[in-house]
Amino acid sequence: MSDLLAAAQEEVKPDMTPMIDCVFLMIIFFICIEFKVLEAKLPAYLPKDKGSQATKVEPQEQLSLGVYEDSRGTQRFPNGGGPGLVNSQTQRPYRFALQGHTIKWMVGPTLVTNSDDLLNQLKRIYNNRDTWQDDKEKPGQKKPMPVVIEPHPGTYYDDAAKTADLVKAAGFGEINFGGGLGQAPGKK
């Protein structure tokens, strides 16, 4: 009788170990996934014919969007270290964050000092169908003019990328990058 009772007790006892193993593994897996940075991309096009022989090309109207430094900002090193120091663990220089860095834009001849105004200005140009031009790939159709973003010395990748982000938000499809690169930083 006692054997039967013991057997009945054994039957109802589920083995939790494999389930706990699986749960732990899944937790580790999802933690690893969380560390993966979600990335986005901005497609842009470079000139195909650089360095080719001079040929007559039709001038194309483009919207020039200059990006200028307004305030340089101050460097902060959130992970410690300092300018020019190398992190011995990563073998890469310590990275800094710029605080108080601001930029301004020239949309054609118009000066714009904040991103909301820039977006409005770009939307206004986009919505003006007189600025649209013939689409060579689709005869009989029109397309918005290409935008040339011209980041000037003292501007950063963040400034150009955010500008391009606003250009896309306004509806423009074709983004090119231009302008002189100036002297290498540190050679002023």
Partner 1 sequence: MTDLKKEAQQTQEMDMTPMIDCVFLLMIFFVLIIDLSQTNLEDLILPKAQYQQADDSPPENRPVINLLQTGAVYYKGKMQYDPAVHGSDYSGILRMLKLIKQTGNVKTKTENLGGRDVELVDDPILLRADKWTEWHFVGEVMKQCSQPEAAFWKVELAMSEKDKEEALLKGKN
The answer to whether residues 152 and 70 touch, using CB atoms and an 8 Å cutoff, is no
Amino acid type, 85:
L
Q: Is residue 98 within the footprint of partner 1 (CB under 8 A)?
A: yes
Binding part of the chain for partner 1, among 73-81, 104-112, 124-132, 140-148 by CB under 8 A, reads 73-81
Within residues 145-184, the interface with partner 1 by CB under 8 A covers: 151, 153, 155-162, 164-166, 168-169, 177, 179, 181-184
Which positions from 13 to 42 touch partner 1 by CB under 8 A, shown as an x/- string?
A: --x-xx--xx--x--xx--xx--xxxxxxx
Q: Is residue 138 within the footprint of partner 1 (CB under 8 A)?
A: no
Q: Is residue 137 within the footprint of partner 1 (CB under 8 A)?
A: no
Size of the site for partner 1 (CB under 8 A): 70
Position among 10, 61, 116, 137 found at the interface with partner 1 (CB under 8 A): 10
At closest approach, how far in Å is the CB of 185 from partner 1? 5
Q: What Rg, from alpha-carbon coordinates, does the chain have?
A: 29
Specify the residue, 112 or 160, whose C-beta has the smaller distance to partner 1.
Answer: 160
Amino acid type, 152:
H
Spell out the residues 6+ positions from residue 75 whose beta carbon is closer than 8 angstroms to its own: 83, 96, 97, 98
Spell out the residues 6+ positions from residue 83 whose beta carbon is closer than 8 angstroms to its own: 75, 96
Nearest to 146 by CA among 110, 175, 119: 175
Nearest to 188 by CA among 157, 150, 153: 153
